[in-house]
Chains A and B, each alone.
Chain A
Amino acid sequence: MRHLNPVYKIGLKQSARTKKTVVLLLVYNLLLSGLGLVVFYLTFDRAGRVREDVAYSGILTLYSVMAAMEFVMILFIVPASTAGAVAGEREKQTLDILLSTKITPFHIVTGKLAASISMVILLVISSMPVLSVVFCIGGVTVSALFVFLLLLVVTAVYIGSFGIFFSVCCRKTTGATVCAYLAMIIVVILLPGLLFFFECLEAFGSVGYIGIRNVMNTISGKRTLFLLFNPVISFVSMLRDQVGRGISIMNSIGSEGGLFYFLSRHWFAASMVSQLVVSAIMIALSAHRLNPTRKGWKSGRSG
């Protein structure tokens, strides 16, 4: 095996030693299992008593809810864990030292990101026993679980690449953290929110009133392509593929044919690829910004 990126290795070593990691693991799994128990109780125990039979479709609900929970936690953990990656080095005054060595800015950026992603993977793997409740009862396949894992990793890379970018641009970790969360919120909430808003306007314009059904029916066109960059939609499309539930956006855009038909069938894969492309661009930008001798208008700010 060729050398592992040393920045990645040292990042792992450091996070393995901080108490923060232990606390994070604990809180993460407590939250997840707590919620799992509640949903479990609601779907089986209570439902069983009220209706005198067990709704096995509840398993799918349980899976969906726990997966969503895990997904949302990742969305909130990644900005915090990546924002400090480079800004923290700058605060500790180790960044100049790092940059004066042979390692390239690109390797610093990717090493840092990989270390953060590894933490995410560790969290997800640590939660497997909790999640496995779902599999004990049946209803969800192991391959579905791997797809879910893939989604989490891609989401972490995607959101993390924004975190790293702001970590490179901001002098302080605090500033970078704020920016990283803002970026996450924009990508996750504002982007589909705005689109939905415009769809509503359009629906109102054509039919004269706003109703979910007519909005869904008019959803169309190139605008929806932006949703490829939204992790929540990716998550929902994954659930649709896995448990057969989901929203009908994909169905309605599919009727436009051509590219849109293709997207409606392979939304999940297409969105994963789109998000990875954006991540690659963000990583390249970060590496460029980190280069202290790059040409540009802000070259004196490295110290």
Chain B
Amino acid sequence: MVRIRNLRKSYGSYQALRGLTMEIPRGELFGFVGPNGAGKTTTMKIIAGLMRADSGEVVVADRMLSGKTGQIREMVGYVPDFFGVYDDLKVQEYLEFFASLYGMDGKEARRRTAELLEMLGMTQLRDEMVDGMSRGMKQKLCVARALVNTPELLILDEPASGMEPRYRRQLKELLQELCAEGMTILISSHNLNELAEMCTSIGVISKGRMVMQGDVPTLLRRQRETNPYVLQCLSFPEEAIQILKSDPHVKNIASSGTNISFPYDGTEEEAAELLTALVAKGAQIVSFYREEGSLEKMFLDMTTVP
């Protein structure tokens, strides 16, 4: 759905994007993470046709993004990282206005607006003034607005930053539902757990480059493999320590109290043999496990602040 090659963009002398390459297959719910200032917003604006890249290739839905962006805009929904709302407009009027921007006539716009309000559970707020609403509500309204043209690609830039947990959950479920219906979604967020829960794949961007991209389980597994094993034991005789030290796969043993942890690069079978040997030497082991992978740890490992 989106294919980006070697994208570059500078603000003055500052290079925000330095050869970004990424690919979002159709129907993915793609999580976009990276430190502040990594270039997420810049990338999303370029895809949404709101900014011109200095160089590189952006293909959205098999169409090259160049001068003429009209056709692409028609099938993209964009939720910016701020929420622009008009004064003196009611929620319903706001949505109907955007519906009319996509060429819907009055009746059609009203129907679509009602549908969206229903979808986001905002029907009772129909006649509320937009500028009087709370931040989270405005963000919800912005999501509704971006869906007005039933886009094929939905781009959300930190859409949930001001939302309470219930709304976040609601948004998550809505996005998963839309994704299941075939919409491609690109969402950036700083809440990694939330992204890990809902996204099908994730891209990590740092200093204007994609440093890692893949589906969530694979990333977590890969992350997990670099994590240390942890041994919890009641007693650990000297012989056992010798065994541990002599194992070629074991690196830097660290112990704190009854816990021993060490990075291990052998296979799981080898780990099992190691455990058997340790027990044979009289170690009283309560648990033996590899630390869980987390996106947060991966994020911290993969990225540096620009």
Contacts and interface: CB of A to CB of B under 8 A. Distances in A.
Interface of A: 3, 6-7, 9-10, 13-14, 17-18, 89, 92-104, 292-295, 299-300, 302-303
A100 B48 contact: yes
A292 B52 contact: yes
A94 B88 contact: no
A295 B69 CA distance: 13
Interface stretch (B95-103, B110-118, B191-199, B267-275): B95-103
Contacts of B149: 101-102
6 contacts: A10-B86, A17-B88, A92-B85, A94-B84, A102-B102, A295-B52
Interface string B72-103: 01101010101111111100010001101111
Given A17-B88, A94-B86, A303-B45, A101 B73 contact: yes
Interface string B53-66: 00000000000001
Interface of B: 9-12, 45, 48-52, 66-67, 69-70, 73-74, 76, 78, 80, 82-89, 93, 97-98, 100-103, 105, 142, 145, 149
Given A3-B100, A3-B105, A102-B74, A96 B49 contact: no
B97 A10 contact: yes
Contacts of B85: 92, 94
Given A6-B100, A292-B49, A303-B45, A100 B78 contact: yes
A6 B86 contact: no
Nearest to B10: A300
Give the dominant DSSP class at B's interface: loop
Contacts of B82: 93
A101 B67 CA distance: 15
Name the residue in A17, A96, A100, A303 with the highest tally of chain B Cβ atoms < 10 Å from its Cβ.
A100
Given A14-B89, A293-B69, A101 B98 contact: yes
A100 B49 contact: yes
Nearest to A4: B100
Given A7-B101, A9-B97, A18-B87, 16 more contacts: A6-B101, A10-B97, A17-B88, A92-B84, A94-B86, A96-B45, A100-B49, A100-B80, A102-B70, A102-B101, A104-B70, A293-B52, A293-B66, A295-B67, A299-B52, A303-B51
A94 B9 CA distance: 23
Given A92-B86, A93-B82, A101 B101 contact: yes
Given A96-B80, A97-B78, A292-B51, A18 B100 contact: no
A302 B46 CA distance: 11
B101 A299 contact: no
Contacts of A103: 101
B100 A96 contact: no
Nearest to A293: B52
Given A3-B100, A13-B93, A14-B87, A100 B105 contact: no
A89 B67 CA distance: 23
A303 B81 CA distance: 11
Contacts of A101: 73, 98, 101-102, 149
Nearest to A299: B52
B8 to A, nearest CB: 12
A3 B50 CA distance: 25
Contacts of A17: 88
B55 to A, nearest CB: 12
A298 to B, nearest CB: 10
Name the residue in A6, A9, A103 with the highest tally of chain B Cβ atoms < 10 Å from its Cβ.
A6
